[in-house]
Structure 1
Amino acid sequence: MRAFVLFVCLSVGCLAQRPQPCASPSLLTGSLSVASQNEKLMAYAKYSYDALGKRIRLREFGSYDNKTFHFDVLLLFREGVMYKINYKNQTCCKKPLSADFHPLEIPRNSSLLGQVVVGSSSGPGQGVLVNTWWGELGMKKGPAKYMSTVTEIGCIPVSTLFHTSKSGWMVTNFFNNVIGLVDPQQLIPPHFCKGAPLEERLDKDPETFFSLF
């Protein structure tokens, strides 16, 4: 009987140690790079992320379809608006935002691919333990496959591979992540945006990791 109880306890302990789908911190600041398989998009961005208020700020530059671009956008999903900000000219365009907000997280129905150490496990501080997950999402324009890597401790995003029939595979790498908002003002429209009329959105902005959702 004691052996059976010991076996059950050990089994529960092993199950408890198995990585579980997780949600990234609600407030994050950092940088990311994005590149698409079809080579239409290559970009670098600094971001501020607020899952509580459903707000994202992206200051991005790169190339899309062989044309360089630079834009600064504030996405307010709760209000359903997007601000394109130009500090140099002190101008602001306010446009409708129809996309749904999806927090940075590993969906509950994801499957674990594996757990590895990025860097080295030879000594303390030489590597970081990460988990890689994969799955499929039902998108507005059809199913999409993903493979996401996050840290075991903290669920901090490391990289994401995302596949759609339109753009093929798109890879996003996160770095210089800081938990919290380094500058909360980045998620508030600048003073010169006050009173900006809501314009009809006719143009198509370059896709980013966040706009895929």
Structure 2
Amino acid sequence: MFAAVTLLVFMCLTATSHADHHQPCHTPNMTGLMSVITLKGEVKAFGAFSYDSMGKKLRFRSNESYPTNTSIGLDLLMFFDEGVFYEIDTKNQSCEKKALQCTLHPLDVPDEATYLSTLNIGSSSIEGEGLKVNIWTGSMADSKGKYSMSVTMGCLPVSTFYMCESSSFLISIMDIETEIKDPDLLLVPSLCQGQPLEETPEGTVNSFLNEFM
């Protein structure tokens, strides 16, 4: 299955025809589930997210509400406009505040993304058995990689495939609801308040995606 995904994305990224009149859309507020899987089939993370599209805030909690046998347990709170994020460990009552160098993430189409094509996932001829999506592609300047993102006609993300020098992985979005169910999740927790900004080691790029590399 993962070989097929790789082939499909490669074909999308190497296609030469696209429609210039398409402009990247921007997603609404969302609550849902997110999974991160490598091409070898390793589940890197699976958990719940809340996303504030106007405030550019994201909370992702892996292995908390939905425990799975994954290699990474994360609780991330990211403020993309402010350029900072928090790594939260509620169990140990600890929190780290770090600078955010890259704002690329799988829940919104970047402004510089290139429209590639419109595809039907499933069947377009059988009622209720198909989903039309737009495919957007682009480059990851910080890691010299590429991405291919599929979103619905209503601009809800379905999946994003990232191909980087160090690793490649697929992020899938499920059970989306176009609201923020718990706004408190996007507030800085009390255990993080007053935390100093940690120094970023030279050569380190902090981003949502780098948490899985």
TM-score by length of 1: 0.70
The 1:89–1:157 alpha-carbon spacing in structure 2 relative to 1, beyond 3 Å, is same
Letter of the aligned partner of 2:195 in structure 1?
A
Distance 2:121 2:104 in 1: 31
TM-score by length of 2: 0.70
The structure in which a higher percent of residues are strand is 1
Question: Aligned ranges for residues 167-182 of structure 1 at < 5 Å?
Answer: 167=167, 169-182=168-181
1:1-213 matches, within 5 Å, as 20-37=22-39, 42-61=44-63, 68-100=71-103, 104-105=108-109, 110-118=114-122, 121-123=125-127, 126-142=128-144, 144-152=145-153, 154-167=154-167, 169-201=168-200, 209=209
Report the identity percentage.
29
Whether the aligned pair in 2 keeps the contact of 1:96 and 1:201 (CA below 8 Å) is yes
RMSD value, Cα = 3.5
Q: Paired residue for 2:11?
A: none
* Higher Cα Rg, which structure: 1
Please give the per-residue CA displacement for 1:85-143, whole angstroms capped at 9, x wherever unaligned.
222333322222222356601656524334214367433xx23432242533251232x
Which amino acid in 1 is paired with 2:27?
Answer: P
Helix, strand or coil for the counterpart of 1:186? helix
Question: Relative to structure 1, is the Cα distance of residues 206 and 82 closer, same or farther in structure 2, using a 3 angstrom cutoff?
Answer: closer
Cα distance in 2 between the residues matched to 1:164 and 1:150: 21
Distance 1:207 1:97 in 2: 6
> 1:91 is matched by which residue type in structure 2?
S
CA 1:140/1:201 → structure 2, altered by over 3 Å: closer, same or farther?
closer
Aligned AA (2:31): T
The 1-side partners of 2:208 and 2:102 are apart by 12
**What is the rounded CA distance, in whole Å, between the counterparts of 1:133 and 1:183 in structure 2?**
30
Q: Distance in 2 between matches of 1:190 and 1:151?
A: 33
Number of residue equivalences = 186
Structure 2: runs of 5 or more not aligned = 1-20, 65-69
1:58 counterpart SS class: strand
